[in-house]
Structure 1
């Protein structure tokens, strides 16, 4: 994707029609699917509310193609003019927004051999409230921050965005508190971190949670200053890769079956949900 909203809409529309023709029930787009800025902070200039024209366009596409959408990393307008929210939005096949999650972990990193990133300079820092530990999903009150899971035609989805992937406790909560069966990880990993860690981290989150993972990834050189690693993957609950684009820089779709009976089978044969000893990480963090 690039810093051109109209061109990105056209690309997404083409991919959506291709996915619908292939019989997909859910199509997952990567982080920053609608816009990739040239400079840090450019995205703030295009940020809109979830009922704005950009999101309304994607909702219309979902309704017209009768398909659910995972819109990862949408530039939602923030609480002040200098910041946005990096928001993962789920749209159903009628074009209705049924859930949204604002990214918790922000990418403030000096990448070895790369550049310095400071996502917090233009993105609001969102912290989960303690009551996020209960299974709450679709019915959030205004201003209430939450770890989010939502039911869909392919199972119960656990929502996250990119850098969240490095924080396993979040995915533990999605599995063991929110009963997720499929974890969604839209991302725009850097080439340096992607080569080193992307697939390893995804498979680790799968094995720890016994969930499917769908990881839609930005790929290739967006502009002179930014490049993403790519490598879109679908991984089953045993850690086996069941879907991958032909090469990590491809723009296209990959389709795989989500077999919830296989989720149940893996969990029955290795019953970690019964054997685990829950640790209150909130309490541990305060000691």
Structure 2
């Protein structure tokens, strides 16, 4: 696991899965021993009921395990989406609390890594939480947790005003984790609009797979979701796994959906058959493809911006 303060220094299931295949776990510069690389990306509609959401997550995890998935990625706010301001803060728990321990047991029982984006972690005071991306390994151990850096304080045109910072405290640490599926860069939702974070994950911390659990609004999703995700994949030459909330959660909130997996060339290699259904899509992460793309187009060697930035006058 690699940690770094943010911002960086001025140097800068519905469709049947494909048959199982193997991918390669890769070191920072070369491909090493083969390992299973079958990953799944979930699409779901969370509601204001912890038990109902867990039942959905549990069902999808068990279905994914039967399909041979070894790493399953859930969207932001997978465990709870409330309909009233401040409701999630009252439910917020530490990572060793009963809510997360339930999901740890699920990972252990299924022998599967889980990416749980956007958990309501207890914050620094009674009126704030952290929006935390939690990574659990196949033994049920919390391997890492990333607190969302960029908070969604936005007046969405023709939609609603969102003020995430009213109840959420931002994180300040970039997180990269080594796993059997590559070197994982953890982010959450609105982070997607800030390419410097993804540049830091790739070029400073050598990420190979970027995780973007999200709950994009319908308006912003229609306009920007896929194009931003593909841009992040292309400019970093990483796989991107983007699990999304979908449909109407309550009378106030609706999410765009469209959970997808994108390869390092920017091609969508897995998605659900529609934007609203609950289920998961499956793809194989082949880290030799990351190596091949980066070798043929060595942008890491051609980057000049850091040196230009350092030498520029204030």
Shared fold (TM-score, shorter chain, > 0.5): yes
> d(CA) in 2 for partners of 1:61 and 1:20?
11
Partner in structure 1 of residue 139 of structure 2: 94
Give TM-score, length-normalised by structure 1: 0.91
Matched, 1:176 2:221: no
Partner in structure 2 of residue 137 of structure 1: none
Residue 280 of structure 1: CA displacement?
A: 7.8
2:147–2:170 Cα contact (<8 Å) kept: no
> d(CA) in 1 for partners of 2:310 and 2:259?
36
Residue 40 of structure 1: CA displacement?
A: 2.8
> d(CA) in 2 for partners of 1:280 and 1:201?
26
Residue 39 of structure 1: CA displacement?
A: 2.0
> d(CA) in 2 for partners of 1:228 and 1:107?
14
Among 263, 285, 290, the residue aligned to 1:236: 263
Partner in structure 2 of residue 11 of structure 1: 56
Matched, 1:188 2:215: yes
Greater Cα offset, 113-122 or 19-28: 19-28
Partner in structure 2 of residue 279 of structure 1: 306
Deviations 1:216-237 (A, max 9, x none): 0000000000000000000000
Q: 1:281 to 1:109 in 2, by over 3 A?
A: farther
> d(CA) in 1 for partners of 2:50 and 2:153?
26
More strand by share: 2
Matched, 1:147 2:174: yes
Partner in structure 1 of residue 275 of structure 2: 248
Identify unmatched segments of 5+ residues in structure 1: 129-145
Point out which structure has higher relative CO (alpha carbons under 8 A, 6+ apart).
Answer: 2
Residue 247 of structure 1: CA displacement?
A: 0.2
SS in 1 for 2:283: coil
SS in 2 for 1:197: helix
Partner in structure 1 of residue 23 of structure 2: none
> d(CA) in 2 for partners of 1:90 and 1:281?
36
Greater Cα offset, 39-48 or 58-67: 39-48
2:187–2:211 Cα contact (<8 Å) kept: yes
> d(CA) in 2 for partners of 1:125 and 1:18?
34
1:91–1:98 Cα contact (<8 Å) kept: yes
Deviations 1:34-80 (A, max 9, x none): 00010232110110000000000000000000000000000000010
Aligned pairs for 1:42-121 within 5 A:
42-121=87-166
> d(CA) in 2 for partners of 1:63 and 1:281?
48
Q: 1:85 to 1:280 in 2, by over 3 A?
A: farther
Deviations 1:89-125 (A, max 9, x none): 1000000001110000000000000010000000002
> d(CA) in 2 for partners of 1:278 and 1:179?
17
Matched, 1:125 2:170: yes
2:185–2:209 Cα contact (<8 Å) kept: yes
* RMSD between superposed Cα atoms in Å: 1.7
Give TM-score, length-normalised by structure 2: 0.83
Among 276, 288, 296, the residue aligned to 1:269: 296
